[in-house]
Structure 1
């Protein structure tokens, strides 16, 4: 309600705020266009200020402005609807087409084959995209990675659909006769896609198909966390259902499921979030901690393992505060039941409050111990993912030769973890480690389909065949098949001339070592022979 001391004030208010006068609605007021003079508060009537304005106008470079605008849109991923002008879209497409020729030229002069990785993705609004990236050594021996295309996929993510889009991009950039290896995840549609491409481009699909190591780790971790029927569990999680039913579904997964329910319960209430921070502050002060920071819970994303790991890591850190929150609910419920049943002397009346679901998710000390053990089991998987997800540098960190050794390290870790929990009263950890080991062993076996993994390792001067002979001592048949496969691959490349000065030395980058580094260093010690020369390696393969 507007409080006016006089009718003139009310009239002015109606006209200024509501655009209504005594004659009815007033026409829209034309908004005055602000000039640059207004924005920087310059007075054109003052000669000095007008001269300053003239200098501003003279210094404006429209081409530079376009470049900066394009960089803003492309680098910061600004939606086109922020700049709806067709002119601005044309500004962006024009330099893209100009630089496209540069990329095509670099691809044509590469020292290596052009290796391809691709993946399909759908947004929440069901817009499907295919991202295709290439990896190669340019004519100066520098490792290059380019995103060549992000086309929309019409229809299903079928192998046929994917192969059409991938083939279009390969031919568009003109390297169809120089295609190397393909890196994709383990979806069946990718197998179909590569079947079609191998026929079209004439390469052996099994030899050229490498599997995304991060995706393998994801499958292994999901098996550890959620069991054998992980896909069915994920579908259940994503189905529409009542919160109560969803909590019951997760609770059956043991301590992980209970913690999942707790963090989602906390996040659904602003009051509970505020209480969580207050409880942390009380604990920080009581312990006289130097760092008084308080934290939110981290929500896991269905069965995506790294989000589950992050949820558990944060949950374990906040376990005292979370326990206090849940205990308050448990205490309140017990007091309510006691009142309604007269301390258990009468049955619970039919018309009573429904038991809060969170009461059944109270974590015990044993539950938190299981969470800590899960974190210890998942730790090496996190290390392996980080190591192999990056671009190769200094001949390591994401290089192909690291895959087999990393798998060996993880298999041993899971074997040791399974033995450590063999006598646990609850089976969660033992079963999880066993299922994870089985999934990883399945993909370790599949590496024999592509000799690139083994060839990359035995051609590494610090490892060579002596490493494989040691690691596969109990499987002589693997060694025979492996040597035959590498020899066949060697025949494809042995006739190529190698320019010794083609690849420059890369600068050494220091980084923190991990248990995986220590494992690889111990394996390296098994190869005590001096590194062979290129001619000696040729002789070894010829022999």
Structure 2
């Protein structure tokens, strides 16, 4: 063959020597692993002038696979209309038998005909998407067998719909297989983590009263992106003690092979979690000291805010009110439950009023019709705002979730006129007392003022709660550095509110002094700072500050005292957990290692004598933790020689030599952490501390 012919064949993609079937099948296997999904992209082999698809890449729900003995010696290939069997020995020279014989004994008229085969990868993907749909939408396993859904899928792709098993048992089996596959993929990801793996866990009771423990892993991947993975939702048998939970978590870590990669643990503030972490870390490292266990214990910020808000609303022991309300509701003792809520003041009255309105559809419709008629009687109104307020339903709160109380107050204030008109209308029109809102639950002018104040006081707690939901993004929104700064912000806010709602004579009441004497952040009463301090505020905030004083002064003594007690309860709970943050160096370290704040933030906010002790301890703990986690490497003699050469140019004088020796000493002694803390904060907004 001439060189011109060879180059032409190469250009046209023609080979003078036919590839063997083994070579073609090996190439087909590589092509199949690249994730082909359409039938046209399935790998093929050529026999003569025809092309065939390896049968193992084609889905066939109605068959369990060939069982012929000849399968051990060759490969089944499928054309659109005909199937062939290729011998492993004779195919080596590039030839194969195109034999119409079959392993089964069916006559030719009943042979299988694959006119429109479906790619197996498409079937597997459809199964995975079906399981994902069921899990994320919380659907029963029978959902895919719905006849209307099946008909819709048939219209889209009938061949694919026939190949995918949709029964409940098939869905369950597919889910188990997918779980094992994804578990292996997560194990590989965890193995490649560039940081230690932090974890969070919590107990949860399902609607059918089963106890479950969920466990998440948090780490940085190779690209330094924050990753979070659900490791398990494991049923817990027996007592929900800390030791029992620790054993469950330890077993899960073993399944993923990450027991030697574990870092800090994040959980709620109940005492059983302290026991759990102590037991878990001792199983992971029997030599771990008690101090090291405390260092790795981090607290759920959302739970801290939740406890503070419940203390504001329900007092020092909110769980007692929760238990009592739950008991009354469980035994359907309605009058006693109403009296219990009525003891909570304006919030309890609002709860009972909303419950009365929502008790029947007729009352809801009456309230809406009264609101519409009231709006039509007005000479002027804003149509869109009024109509939106009318269309909104009253929201019901409960004793479990404090933010439901914030939401009920927020909605009720928006619909205040409608609520008052509804109560007045029933008082004049309803014939029987049971058809009216009880007089004890009528909301007075002072009650509405108190509800407005409660709303404004709960708003920072609600905003912080919404901010810390989910996983941290770009170094913000539920990041560790936000915990200490967030609590500091809330403490400062409620200290300002203490001043605003202090008695009119400007002296601190006995309750404030009694509570503050047991706390760490107490400062002496600032009677002289009252109404005169607004002159130091910027103009754009001065009106808001003085307005808060004016509104607070309009409350009577009983409602003002109610607010004072709530503020002190909330402040005390926040201060309690602010002090507990000092047990772990991770919180001040997270603030210090954020380039936007550095150590300057702590130096600016911790100024009292006791707080200066905190500052010193924080710096020392961060230093000790840094040296423990990142031990310093001794600098080689060659490196020190290079530093000296870099500093010498001409022959220095004795004075220059003395200064250079000092500089060289500083360069040798100061590590990366020291250089960072000395440089000060980086004044840049929305700075991601991880990528900095």
- TM-score tier by shorter-chain length is 0.7 to 0.9
Change (3 A) 1:537 1:321: same
Residue 540 of structure 1: how far off its partner (Å): 6.7
Corresponding residue number in structure 1 for 2:463: 383
Question: Is residue 149–residue 169 contact of structure 1 (8 Å, CA) maintained in 2?
Answer: yes
TM-score, structure 1 normalization: 0.75
Alpha-carbon distance in 1 for matches of 2:582, 2:457: 27
Change (3 A) 1:107 1:366: same
What SS does the corresponding residue of 1:177 show, helix, strand or coil?
helix
Alpha-carbon distance in 2 for matches of 1:355, 1:276: 13
What SS does the corresponding residue of 1:119 show, helix, strand or coil?
strand
Corresponding residue number in structure 2 for 1:438: 572
TM-score, structure 2 normalization: 0.60
1:359 to 430, 439, 444: 439
2:312 matched to 1:224?
A: yes
Question: Is residue 330–residue 359 contact of structure 1 (8 Å, CA) maintained in 2?
Answer: no
Residue 64 of structure 1: how far off its partner (Å): 4.4
2:296 to 199, 208, 231: 208
Question: Is residue 204–residue 211 contact of structure 2 (8 Å, CA) maintained in 1?
Answer: yes
Corresponding residue number in structure 2 for 1:104: 187
User: For 1:419-498, what aligned pairs fall within 5 Å after superposition?
Assistant: 419-423=499-503, 424=555, 425=557, 426=559, 427-474=561-608, 475-495=611-631
Corresponding residue number in structure 1 for 2:473: 393
Alpha-carbon distance in 2 for matches of 1:364, 1:150: 49
For structure 1, the 5+ residue unaligned runs are 1-53, 337-352, 498-533
Residue 87 of structure 1: how far off its partner (Å): 2.6
What SS does the corresponding residue of 2:392 show, helix, strand or coil?
coil
2:383 to 283, 289, 292: 289
Alpha-carbon distance in 1 for matches of 2:482, 2:372: 44
Corresponding residue number in structure 2 for 1:255: 346
Corresponding residue number in structure 2 for 1:413: 493
What SS does the corresponding residue of 1:389 show, helix, strand or coil?
coil
Residue 93 of structure 1: how far off its partner (Å): 1.4
Corresponding residue number in structure 2 for 1:272: 363
What SS does the corresponding residue of 1:166 show, helix, strand or coil?
helix
CA RMSD of aligned residues (A): 2.6
Change (3 A) 1:278 1:100: same
Question: Is residue 426–residue 437 contact of structure 2 (8 Å, CA) maintained in 1?
Answer: no
1:323 to 420, 425, 431: 420
What SS does the corresponding residue of 1:324 show, helix, strand or coil?
helix
For structure 2, the 5+ residue unaligned runs are 1-112, 145-166, 504-554, 634-669, 679-692
Alpha-carbon distance in 2 for matches of 1:266, 1:56: 65
Question: Is residue 325–residue 337 contact of structure 2 (8 Å, CA) maintained in 1?
Answer: yes
Residue 207 of structure 1: how far off its partner (Å): 0.7
Highest relative contact order (Cα 8 Å, sep 6+), 1 or 2? Answer: 1
- Worse overlay, 183-192 or 254-263: 183-192
Instruction: Write out the 4+ residue segments of structure 1 that deviate beyond 6 Å after TM superposition.
Output: 54-57
CA radius of gyration, larger in: 2
User: For 1:62-141, what aligned pairs fall within 5 Å after superposition?
Assistant: 62-80=123-141, 82=143, 85-141=168-224
